[in-house]
Structure formats: C-alpha cells, structure tokens
Chain A
Amino acid sequence: MQKPSILFTGIFGAFAISVGAMVLIPHTQLASLQPQVTWDEGANSPSDIYPHERSATGREVYVAEGCFYCHSQQVRDPQYGPDTERGWGSRRTVARDYIYEDVPLLGSQRLGPDFANFGWTAKVAQKDGSEKTVSMWRNEHEDDSKKPAARNERWIYQHLYNPRTLFSDSKCPSYRYLFETKEIGEKPSPNAVAHNAKFQIVPTHEAERLAQYLLSLDRSHELKEAPTAIKPKEAKK
C-alpha cells in the first residue's frame, strides 16, 4: 500500500535523481567548458583559438525550415559508425565544438547527410575554382556518376531550388519559396538557378544566408580531446 506521503516523497525523489544525474551534474561539468587556446610565447598572445564565436548567419533559416530533422550536425567516433570514413569530418565532434551555439543542431535523424563540416568539405572545390576538383574529404566513389563536381554556393542554390535536378530520387525538399523571380538587368546573375530572355530566378536574402551558413560549418580544427581520426583520401595516395 502506498501512503500519500510516501507516494509524493517517492515521486519527488525520482524527479530529483533524474534531474540530478541527467541535468545538474553534466551542467556543472559543461558550464566551465572554454575554447581551446594555444598560447604563442614569443608574441605573448594567443596564436590560435577554437572555436571562434560565430557571427549569426542563416542559422535561423536552417532552424525555421527544420533542416535539422533530416540533417544531423555531429560526427561520431569510428566505433559508432563510418561517419569519418564517409568524409563527414576528420574527427568526432565533442562538446567544445558547440560552446557558442545557442541550441546546437545535433539532429536525431539522418535522412540526409551530416552537415557538421559541410563548409569545410566544400572548401577545397571552392578556392580552387576549377569545377573538376571534387571536395577532398567526401569519400564518394570515383566512378559514382552522380558525384557532384563541387559543392559551392551555386551548387547549393541549385540543390535548394530543386534537389531533383541534381539527384533524381532525392528526398530533400525543394525550397522554391526561398527564391524570387526578377527581371534580368544586363546579364543573368551568376547565382540564378534558371532564366529566360527576360526573367531569372534568384535566391532571396534568406537563401543566401542559408548557403553562407552551410558553408560556414567547419568543425575540423584539431582538439586535444578529439585528435584527427582519419586523413583525407588524397593524402593517403
């Protein structure tokens, strides 16, 4: 038999244990987490700080559109799965990677690929400029005919506007409403996803910020607690 007094004491006890173990203890531990600073003795100033405080980009668009229901932003240790083998990152991500994020968008589903390092994996192709270069890290098969040449801003717009034009059975939604139709001035904008003689479809400000956000995602920095687990494919050769 449960006396009401015992009942309520017990229920409160259950809550206390739950909140203590699952919330308060990790909170005391994580609250003190600071960025990793490498000190340059000679110049007597920090030579390297990670992570940097991010300036707000299109993160709100990413959240509002619920990209995180399909795209995770966490790279797991190789013992959990082939995240690094896929080239989603050079190492697992750790708590320190997220200290400046209001709500880290870790995600709980991977209907689409992980974005923890989207910008970083796309970088090589970008700087290089040559459309033939593929990103260094993505471990897509050489003969994969669908393998994109570059994952730069223009490619992202194409993908956002209609992923099915790039991958015929993609499940990624098309975000046509993040684009607008404008009259062409002198010549079509390089970012236009489509145009005819008079009109072009160009990304809105939101789409631009979203693309910037994706390209800013980079958690590749070497950390004490998470050493690089895998070397880039090209480097192996």
Chain B
Amino acid sequence: MNATPETTSAAQGDVTRSDHDVARRDLENVERALIDQSARGPVLTFFTTAIFWLLVSVVLGYIASKSLHAPGSVMGPEWLYRLLHLERASHYIFDHLTYGRVWPAYTTALVYGWCSLAGMGVATWLIGRLTRVSIKAPAVLQFGAWFWNAGVAVAVITILCGYNSGLEFFEMHRVARACLFIGYLFIGIWGLILFRYRRQSTPYISVWYLSAAFFLFPWFFGTTEVLTSMPVAGVMKNIVNAWYQNGLFNLWLGCIGIASAYYFIPKVINRPIYSYNLASIGFWSWIFLGGLTAMTRLSGGPVPAYLVTISIAASILMIIPISTLTLNFVRTMKGHTGLMASSTTLRFTFVGTIFFSLAAVLGVVSALRSVDSYTHFTAWTHGQMHMFTLGFFSMVMFGAIYYITPRLVGCEWLSRTFMKLHFFGTAYGAGTIIALFLFGGLATGFALNEPTADKMGFYNVSGIANAYMPVKTYIGYVLFGVAQIIFAFHFLLMRLRIGQPAGEPTLLATPGEGH
C-alpha cells in the first residue's frame, strides 16, 4: 500500500530496483525540490512570524505566571530602569499588566500567533508535497499571512490595553477578528484551490486531517462570530464559546498536528504507516467525536444538563481515536526508535505524539464527573491546555520546521548543540509548566471541594498552590523561554543562510554513535 506519504503506486512494495525506478526517483526528487521552492516565500513568512509570536507568548506567559505568586512586581532588573530613567514608565506599564489582561494576551499570542501560524506554514508545505502541485501565486498566501499577523497584533495589543469581549480564546477586538478571518480566507481558499489541481489522486492520511482543519476552521470561527454578535443574550453565548474552544483545539490545531505527525514519522524512518484501516477509524472517530466534547467545560454550570452528558459520553468514546492513533504511531515506530537519537524531526514529532496521547487521555479522565468536580475551575484545565499546545502541538511543529526549513533555504541547520538544547529546554520546560499546572490544580481542587472549616474563607485557599507557582515561573517558563530564544536564533541563522552545506541533514548524533 502507500509506502511513503507521497507515493501511492503499488510498485513501492517490491524491492527490485530497475533503471527505470531510479530514473523515476530522480525525477521525483527534482519535482519535489521545485515544489519546495514554490512554497518558499509563504512558508518562511509563516515560520518567521510564528516564531516571533512564540517569543512574545513566552514573555507574556512568564509575566502571567509570575503575577500569580508575585502580583504587581516589575519584571526585569529595576536598577536598569532606574539607570535609564524609565522607573516611572516601567512602573506604569507593569502596574497595568495585571493577570486579567496578560493571561488572555498570552493565550491569544500562543494559539493564534505561534500555533496557528506555524500550523498554517507546515500545512502549506505539506499540501504542496502531498498533492504534488507547486504553489501558484504564493503572494496570495503571503498576503493572507500578513493579514493574519495584523489580526494577532491588534488582538494582543488591544487586550493588553484593556479590551476584552468576555469570551475566552475569542477575546479579540472585532477589527482583529476581521483581520484574522480575511487572512484566513486568502490562505484557506488558496489551499482548497491548490487541492483541486492535485496530481495525487488518492489523498494521503495527512491530507484528510488537513482538509478537515482547513475546512472546519472558518465554519467554527464564522459561526461563533455570527452567534456571539447576535442580540441573543444569556448562556447561549457561553455554550457557543465552549463549542468554539473545543473546535479550535481538537479540530483546528489537533488536526494540523496529527497531519504533521502522520507525514513526518513515516517519512523520517522511511517506512509505511502501520495500518491504513486504523488511520481511517482514527480519523473519522476523531472528527466526529472531537466536535462533541465541548460542554465538559461547562459541567455543573447553568446550561441544559443533556449537553454536558453528551459531551461526557463523547469524551469517553474519544478512547477510540486516541488508542488507534497511538497504536498506529507506536507500531510504525516499532524497531526504529533508535532513530530518535539522531533525527531531530523524529525526536520532536514522536515526543509530541506521546504528549498528544497523554493530553487526550487526560481529557477523557477529566471529563468523568467524579474527577471533574475536583479539577473544574482549577489550574488543572490550564495544564491540559498547555499539554496540548506546548507539549503536543509545539513539539510536532518544531519537528516539522526542522525538516522543512533546510529544504527551503538551501543549507542545513548550523549546530547540533543548539538543537539538543532546544529539545532539552522545550521538553523539560514544557513538562515542568504542565506538571505544575496539574499539581497546583489538584491541590487547590481538594481545598475547593472538600473545605475544612479554615478553608471556608477563600482567602485561605488561594495560597495553597504557592509552593508550585514560583517553580513554574522560574524553572518552567525560563527553561522553555531560553530554549525558544536559542531556536529563534538558530532559525535566524538559517534565514541568513548561515549553516552547514546542503545535502546531509544535521543530526543530533552521528548514526552508529551510541545506539
């Protein structure tokens, strides 16, 4: 069956290598290089701006995290501000950067800035490769990318200045939403047009997921925009909001991340995916159930009870896509895990899929009413969100960026040390952030739910996670942030074409070294 993602011809199965085959392979390589070149402009724009927003979101995340254990403190060296006579300005700015403003700015920069832009960049490149068409009029995509970026910038700045729509993950000002949507239309419609010109008749698994992501996003975004601007009042807006958030994570980011993993894992180890049938079951159950798990976010809330019940049931059934996806990835990797020691792409992508499975299982467990009554309203849910965005999605995107960029700029990554540091910082930094959100959430959850007499006064509850919070800020966000600074620098070098000569990819370890 399908050997590597790009070829569907049955001939891949037999290993006879006639001259004809060799010639065809050469031709394919040339074709591939041409397609890569056509995608160069927009994909690099997506990556560069995404990495910019990644850095912005790490800084905002650090401030948000810090303001929970040291509210109102000024970030950075105060003596420096004093030296520069910026004391008053710095106090003015940091006074205003309260948690209620920084947190939404952080999630917006993270989800719409980093995650979505990186995802669209990877998706653009994947579509070119998988449909075997070169990207025509890439300027349209560039245009879309800049619109999207303008949207994120307006959103983050207005939120920090004190604008908020009251809807989580949809806080942006109307202007920002319009920019995002217009930008998306350029990108998404262009993607669909390219898809029509595909020269690969049977779409590969990644294409299923990308189609779902790109088809569904505007529907979720548009429906939410329309319903929340309508004069209908009341909890309906919270319901739409929960539904939107769920779609944003499961069907937009989730599908792009899975698509990327389905491409790069078999690609790097050069082996077909373990089972197409499993992939098929996984795909359909993921997109059907993934749209129904929304209302666990409102369990216990003032909404019709059956909604929550449906979502709990759907969450439990999510076991099906999770187990099929996990099984498929793990079985494909079987016997090839050694390659993780040398291939950066594989290491990031596979660790990302592990985070995916963990996050998804956590989603199932947290949907159970007995667990939810402890974890609802606590940082546990932030832990889940970070597991999905930092653990799974970012990891998979890093893996993809490490693979794609050399093919666009014409040189290989400069330094294996940088890559190692980036992996180390990302994995342990994100791991620390996630673990502390989860533990902190559990600790407060117990105090919230089983209050002893002294915990009846809420002012006695809020100190409970105190021990966890500084660790999250000073170890979690700092580690993660430093790793991203290294990565951004490394990427900048690539854009300046400072790197190893093209040809052999820069590996984390020379194969044969170690094991």
B278-291 CB mask vs A (1 if < 8 Å, else 0) is 00100110011011
Question: With A and B bound together, what is the CA distance between A139 and B167 in angstroms?
Answer: 31
Q: How many A-B residue pairs have CB under 8 A?
A: 238
Question: With A and B bound together, what is the CA distance between A147 and B96 in angstroms?
Answer: 29
Given contacts A66-B104, A70-B99, contact A173 B72 (CB under 8 A): yes
Given contacts A69-B100, A95-B235, contact A81 B449 (CB under 8 A): yes
Residues 1-57 (chain A) with a chain B CB within 8 angstroms: 1-4, 7-8, 10-15, 17-19, 21-23, 26-27, 29-31, 33
Is A176 interfacial (CB 8 A cutoff)?
Answer: yes
- Of A2, A74, A76, A99, the residue contacting B233 (CB under 8 A) is A99
Question: At the interface with chain A, which of B36-44, B209-217, B342-350, B474-482?
Answer: B209-217
- Of B98, B219, B235, the residue contacting A66 (CB under 8 A) is B98
Q: B239, A22: Cβ atoms under 8 Å?
A: yes
Q: B234, A7: Cβ atoms under 8 Å?
A: no
Q: B235, A110: Cβ atoms under 8 Å?
A: no
Is A172 interfacial (CB 8 A cutoff)?
Answer: yes
Is B236 interfacial (CB 8 A cutoff)?
Answer: yes
Question: With A and B bound together, what is the CA distance between A2 and B281 in angstroms?
Answer: 11
Is B190 interfacial (CB 8 A cutoff)?
Answer: no
Q: Using Cβ atoms and an 8 Å threshold, which residues of chain B touch A104?
A: 234-235, 237-238, 302
Q: Find the residue from B166, B195, B298, B299 having the highest chain A CB count within 10 A.
A: B166
Question: With A and B bound together, what is the CA distance between A27 and B104 in angstroms?
Answer: 27
B108 nearest CB across to chain A (Å): 12
B276 nearest CB across to chain A (Å): 8
Question: With A and B bound together, what is the CA distance between A125 and B182 in angstroms?
Answer: 53
Q: B377, A110: Cβ atoms under 8 Å?
A: yes
Question: At the interface with chain B, which of A85-93, A181-189, A190-198?
Answer: A85-93
Chain A, residue nearest B159 (CB): A66
B391 nearest CB across to chain A (Å): 20
B445-467 CB mask vs A (1 if < 8 Å, else 0) is 00011110110111110110010
Q: Please report whether the interface of chain A is mostly helix, strand, loop or mixed according to DSSP.
A: loop
Residues 71-101 (chain A) with a chain B CB within 8 angstroms: 72, 74, 76-77, 80-82, 85-87, 92-95, 97-101
Q: A10, B235: Cβ atoms under 8 Å?
A: no
B96 nearest CB across to chain A (Å): 6
Residues 206-257 (chain B) with a chain A CB within 8 angstroms: 208, 211-212, 215-216, 219-220, 223, 227-228, 232-241, 243, 247
B161 nearest CB across to chain A (Å): 9
Interface size of B by CB at 8 A reads 89
Q: A11, B239: Cβ atoms under 8 Å?
A: no
Q: Using Cβ atoms and an 8 Å threshold, which residues of chain B touch A63?
A: 164-166
A222 nearest CB across to chain B (Å): 16
Q: A17, B304: Cβ atoms under 8 Å?
A: no
Q: A95, B302: Cβ atoms under 8 Å?
A: yes
Q: A82, B233: Cβ atoms under 8 Å?
A: no
Question: With A and B bound together, what is the CA distance between A67 and B382 in angstroms?
Answer: 17
Q: A173, B71: Cβ atoms under 8 Å?
A: yes
Is A129 interfacial (CB 8 A cutoff)?
Answer: no
Is A234 interfacial (CB 8 A cutoff)?
Answer: no
Q: Using Cβ atoms and an 8 Å threshold, which residues of chain A touch B299?
A: 80
Given contacts A67-B100, A98-B235, contact A8 B211 (CB under 8 A): yes
Question: With A and B bound together, what is the CA distance between A206 and B307 in angstroms?
Answer: 38
Q: A102, B104: Cβ atoms under 8 Å?
A: no
Chain B, residue nearest A3 (CB): B202
Q: Using Cβ atoms and an 8 Å threshold, which residues of chain A touch B101?
A: 65-66
Is A231 interfacial (CB 8 A cutoff)?
Answer: no
Q: A2, B98: Cβ atoms under 8 Å?
A: no
Q: Using Cβ atoms and an 8 Å threshold, which residues of chain A touch B287?
A: 10-11, 14
Q: Using Cβ atoms and an 8 Å threshold, which residues of chain A touch B163?
A: 64
Given contacts A66-B99, A95-B303, contact A11 B291 (CB under 8 A): no
Q: A30, B235: Cβ atoms under 8 Å?
A: yes
Is A111 interfacial (CB 8 A cutoff)?
Answer: yes
Question: With A and B bound together, what is the CA distance between A225 and B96 in angstroms?
Answer: 42
Question: With A and B bound together, what is the CA distance between A128 and B295 in angstroms?
Answer: 42
Chain A, residue nearest B214 (CB): A11
- Of B208, B291, B292, B303, the residue contacting A2 (CB under 8 A) is B208
Is A204 interfacial (CB 8 A cutoff)?
Answer: no
- Of B164, B233, B450, the residue contacting A102 (CB under 8 A) is B233
Question: With A and B bound together, what is the CA distance between A14 and B240 in angstroms?
Answer: 17
B295-315 CB mask vs A (1 if < 8 Å, else 0) is 101111111100100110000
Q: A103, B98: Cβ atoms under 8 Å?
A: no
Is A127 interfacial (CB 8 A cutoff)?
Answer: no
Given contacts A82-B451, A95-B304, contact A11 B211 (CB under 8 A): yes
Is A112 interfacial (CB 8 A cutoff)?
Answer: yes
- Of B215, B310, B444, the residue contacting A11 (CB under 8 A) is B215
Q: A33, B456: Cβ atoms under 8 Å?
A: no
Is B294 interfacial (CB 8 A cutoff)?
Answer: yes
Q: A141, B457: Cβ atoms under 8 Å?
A: yes
- Of A10, A68, A92, A103, the residue contacting B228 (CB under 8 A) is A103
- Of B100, B239, B450, B451, the residue contacting A65 (CB under 8 A) is B100
Is B26 interfacial (CB 8 A cutoff)?
Answer: no
Q: B216, A109: Cβ atoms under 8 Å?
A: no
- What 6 pairs between A and B have smallest CB-CB spacing? A66-B100, A18-B291, A173-B98, A113-B458, A80-B300, A103-B166
Task: Give 9 new A-B contacts, CB below 8 A, not counting A66-B103, A104-B234.
Answer: A27-B239, A30-B239, A63-B166, A70-B99, A95-B234, A108-B168, A111-B68, A172-B71, A173-B100
12 pairs of residues in contact across A and B, judged by CB atoms under 8 Å: A2-B203, A22-B295, A26-B239, A67-B100, A69-B99, A95-B234, A95-B304, A106-B235, A170-B462, A173-B71, A177-B95, A177-B96
A-side residues, CB < 8 A to B, are 1-4, 7-8, 10-15, 17-19, 21-23, 26-27, 29-31, 33, 63-70, 72, 74, 76-77, 80-82, 85-87, 92-95, 97-113, 138-141, 144, 146-147, 164, 166-167, 169-177
